[in-house]
Amino acid sequence: MKRFVSFFLTVLTALNLNAQTPKYLDNNAPMEERIEDALSRMTLHEKISMLHAQSKFTSAGVPRLGIRQLNMDDGPHGCREELEWNTWSPAKWTNDYVVAFPSLTCLAATWNPDMSALYGNAISEEFAFRGKDVLLGPGVNMARTPLNGRAFEYMGEDPVLASEMVVPYIQHVQQNGVACCLKHFVLNDQETDRFRVNVNVSERALREIYLRPFEMAVKKAKTWSMMGSYNLWQNVHCCHNDALLNGILKKEWGWDGALVSDWGGTTNTQEAIYGGLDIEMGTYTDGKLRESEFTYDDYYLAKPFEQLVKDGKVPMSVLDEKVRRVLRLIFRTAMNPKKVIGNQCSEAHYEVCRQIGEEGIVLLKNEKLLPLEPAAVQGKRILVVGENATRSLTQGGGSSELKTLRDISPLEAIQQMYAGCTVMHAQGYVSGRAVYDRVDRINADENKRLHDEAVRMAREADFVIYVGGLNKNHGQDCENGDREGYNLSFGQNELIADLAAVQKNIVVVTFGGNPYAMPWLRKVPALLHCWYLGSEAGSALAGVLSGKVNPSGKLPVTFAQRLEDYSSMRFGAEGYPGTNKQVHYKEGIFMGYRWFDLPKAAQQNFLKSEHAQDLTAVGQPLFPFGFGLSYTTFRYGKPTISATGDYGWTVTVDVTNTGQRAGKEVVQLYVGRKDKSGVARPVKELKYFTKVSLQPGNTKQVNLFIRRDDLSYWDEKTHGWNIEPGTYNAYVCASSTDVRGVVSFKY
């Protein structure tokens, strides 16, 4: 009888508890009240457990309270395959195949925020379907050097372009209940010595260039989490840098998200506690390969932190502040009732992949050879040359490597598009396997044989489509190592030149996330740059080659003639990759097109004043920032400008499609100081852009907007933004060097 009464009372108690749902589980309760309620119910150990990894890609919840763990996975181009719980080895599941979306350089090259929104929605659906809460990406580190092995994961050299493209991506990921973990905060602009190098950068360059996309992602997109970078700033690791994370990110910008360390980026308990870190991941590993004999409870924010709180050496308030941020992230994602179910490898996702790839391909040169319309080349012999015509470029590259269900190669798509032709293939060169931490040795004799075979076959063809460029091997576009040089590797320069010598109808197609030298450029009539196009790479390329798609991509980076022409490369090893674990950004704000825009005399004076080691003249870029051709032509009218209340100014210009094909044009607005400035200023800086679609003969009125804040610069004397009164120029451009109209205005 006593047992029955005890059981009955237990059931009544349980029913009563269920009738009174705790506030933290009430989805209708205000977020901050839920957080405080959950926090009040947690033990010290449960709080500590939420702040560090419990596996390679998860951090703990509180099972006792029904608070779920966070499931993270690498992006930013697709959901990484499942790994074993506690190793870097694949789990060998059969249901973790995904769509590989184009690289973020390709997305940036679309100059189309609508494509970014499509990207974010589609990729988050795949993450949600796989049960993921946090997408480790996107990345907005700046393309300071063309040797950066990880630049393909980022969005170019300009903070405004990166900002405008990253905001819709984040918004459309997070509206589906998946968090973006924006990375890498901040100055992770090279892979060489990434774990150790301290970045010396002026306060002004830091604010105007490198922090700007992160700031916009916080203020406009409200990113829910962010990843600290491996490198140091002010000789403190960025994963627990008090001045950066607490001072700028959390206090100045008012950010309420959770700061996640890069894997293996945490190095010190005291700094981790007080330096702004919230979730510690991957400690005691190298972030990719090396395993650890330590347990997760040995992490800096695990037992050591817990003991300091127990001993009264760290206030509970410090711990609670971190837990609040983690709970907020969990309630926004893992416990968000509005999180989508999602889907995986749907035809809609492949369609998004193809569309972004088509819009991101940049036509760099065309002497009336493209498009190769199938009907016009019917019965001809087409030779496809190059390893990238058949090589998977969704594999390799480091943490962004993907396990795909299907990839359409360039060769396969070209064969389908030109079914009425004889399509042959010659590999042309060999590059070795996709490896992460070393460069494969290349057999010189085998490469010569492949080279000679391709040239021989080119003599017998009517057209050659060369498909090469970079790949995702170590020493190319790959995490944990930068490129070995500015030239294309594996003898490609010689191969392209020799092919062009025997076949005038040659189209060069390159893949890759970085600019490169082109000593053969004058010898080829057509050139397309494709970045990395993902699972629909072949379809996107074939669409542009055939004219089914009119190319509309524009460069998000400057293609210089020589490596030495980039401002970051003018200061010897101090400027890149650094000496004694210190790298100096002596070029300041004059990075990318801002440098190439300067008059020659100003370049020389700047180099002398900064004690540059290389004072040789800077050549004009091969292709400037914002450049890209079309199969049609566009005429710009004369721009006008008008004040827009307290907001700023509106620049209006008519754009007409003067060709025979429908096409899209990116209209770019740059602003520069007309009066003499009291500080060094770029000639002009990108402030706004829009992409317009026009039928042949049609004209559209385009409005471009300038905010008052667009005129500001970071004043190192007052440590704040400042606007100089005076006269400014607004430049309406088709690229950074193709100015179609200028109007002046006063502030």
> How does pLDDT run across 83-130, given as a tens digit for each residue?
999 989 999 999 999 999 999 999 999 999 999 999 999 999 999 999
Question: Which residue type is seen at 70?
Answer: L
pLDDT score, position 7: 46
- Which of 327, 305, 324, 300 lies closest to 315, judged by CA? 305
Percent of the chain, pLDDT > 70?
97
Greater pLDDT, 593 or 6 = 593
* pLDDT tier at 659, thresholds 50, 70, 90: very high
Give yes or no for residue 301 having a pLDDT over 60.
Answer: yes
- Across the beta sheet with 582-584, the strand order is 236-237, 232-233, 198-200, 582-584
If residue 304 lies in a helix (H) or strand (E), which one and from where to where? helix 303-310
In the prediction, which pLDDT does 17 show? Answer: 44
Torsion angle of C-alpha atoms 528, 533, 537, 540, degrees rounded to 10: -60
Average pLDDT over residues 556-567: 97
CB half-sphere exposure, 309, CA atoms < 13 A? 20
Nearest CA-CA partner of 173 in 215, 137, 214: 137
Listed range (289-293, 473-477, 578-582) with the worst mean pLDDT: 289-293
Q: Is 588 left (phi over 0), alpha (psi -120 to 50) or beta?
A: left
CA–CA dist 705, 311 (Å, integer): 57
State the Cα–Cα distance between residues 747 and 745, nearest whole angstrom: 7
Residue 13 has what pLDDT? 41
CA-to-CA dists, residue 202 to 159, 215, 416, 715, angstroms: 16, 17, 53, 11
Report the candidate in 103, 236, 258 with the shortest Cα–Cα distance to residue 182: 258
The backbone torsions φ and ψ at residue 18, rounded to the nearest 5 degrees and listed phi first, read -65, -30
Cα 298 from chain centre: 33
Contact 499, 454 (CB under 8 A): yes
The whole-number pLDDT of residue 14 equals: 42
What are the residues whose beta carbons fall under 8 Å from the beta carbon of 270, sequence distance 6 or more? none
Look-up of token digits 């390799």: 396
Q: Is the pLDDT of residue 287 over 80?
A: no
Contact status, residue 692 vs residue 709, Cβ threshold 8 Å: no
Residue 433 is predicted with a pLDDT of 87
CA pair distance 693, 699, nearest whole angstrom: 10
Three-state DSSP at 432 gives coil
Query: Mind listing the pLDDT tens digit for each residue in 502-527?
Result: 999 999 999 999 999 999 999 999 99
Given a contact cutoff of 8 angstroms between Cβ atoms, the answer to whether 664 and 708 are in contact is: no
| pLDDT tens digits along 323-369 | 999 999 999 999 999 999 999 999 999 999 999 999 999 999 999 99
Q: Edge-to-edge strands of the sheet including 506-511?
A: 362-366, 526-529, 506-511, 463-469, 381-385, 422-426
Exposed e or buried b per residue across 574-593, where buried means at least 16 C-beta atoms within 10 angstroms of its C-beta: bbbbbeeeebbbbbbbbbbb
Task: Examine the pLDDT at 289 and tell me if it is beyond 60.
Answer: yes
- The pLDDT value recorded for residue 438 is 85
Contacts of 410 (CB under 8 A, 6+ apart): 384, 388, 389, 390, 467, 509, 537, 538, 541, 542
Contact between 186 and 253 under an 8 Å Cβ cutoff? The reply is no
Bridge partners, residue 579, by sequence: 582
The catalytic site residues sit at 262
Query: 375: how many CB neighbours lie within 10 A of its CB?
Result: 8
- Give whole-number Cα distances, 205 to 226, 262, 572, 716, 721, in Å: 21, 24, 19, 10, 12
Strands 422-426 and 463-469: unpaired
588 contacts: CB under 8 Å, gap ≥ 6: 202, 204, 205, 610, 680
- Average pLDDT of the chain to the nearest whole number: 95
Quote the pLDDT of residue 294. 80
Coil vs helix vs strand at 127 = helix
* The two three-digit tokens of residue 139, written as one number: 């990345």
Element (H, E) at 659: none
Q: What would the pLDDT profile of 443-497 be if each residue is shown by its tens digit?
A: 999 999 999 999 999 999 999 999 999 999 999 999 999 999 999 999 999 999 9
Q: How far is CA 697 from CA 46, 199, 201, 368, 663, in A?
A: 67, 51, 49, 21, 11
Q: 275: buried, middle or exposed (CB in 10 Å: 19+, 13-18, 0-12)?
A: buried
| DSSP bridge partners of 54 | none
Prior bond to 577 cis, omega within 30?
yes
Q: Over 90: is that where the pLDDT of 9 sits? A: no
pLDDT in tens, 391-419: 999 999 999 999 999 999 999 999 999 99
- Sort residue 460 into left (φ over 0), alpha (ψ -120 to 50) or beta: alpha
Rounded to two decimals, the pTM is 0.96
Six token digits for residue 98: 């995904």
The per-residue pLDDT for range 178-223, each reduced to its tens digit, is 999 999 999 999 999 999 999 999 999 999 999 999 999 999 999 9
pLDDT above 60: residue 160: yes
Distance CA 260, CA 263 (A): 9
Q: Give the β-pairing of 198-200 and 582-584.
A: parallel
Tens of pLDDT, residue by residue over 230-283, are 999 999 999 999 999 999 999 999 999 999 999 999 999 999 999 999 999 999
CA distance 553 to 107: 9
Closest to 358 in 3D by CA, of 537, 609, 202, 113? 537
- What pLDDT is recorded for position 435? 82
Angle formed at CA 427 by CA 426 and CA 430, multiple of 5 degrees: 160
Q: pLDDT at position 1, please?
A: 46
pLDDT score of 15 more than 90? no
Report d(CA 256, CA 617) in Å as an integer: 48
* Sign, CA torsion 187/192/193/198: negative
**Rounded CA separation 112/89 (Å):** 37
Domains assigned to the chain: 42-332 (3.20.20.300), 361-546 (3.40.50.1700), 563-609 (no CATH), 634-746 (2.60.40.10)
Say which residue, 525 or 21, is predicted with more confidence. 525
pLDDT of residue 4: 47
Number of H helices, E strands in the chain: 19, 26
Q: For 680-705, what is each residue's pLDDT tens digit?
A: 999 999 999 999 999 999 999 999 99
Helix (H) or strand (E) holding 17: helix 2-19
User: Can you read off the two tokens belonging to residue 711?
Assistant: 């005129």
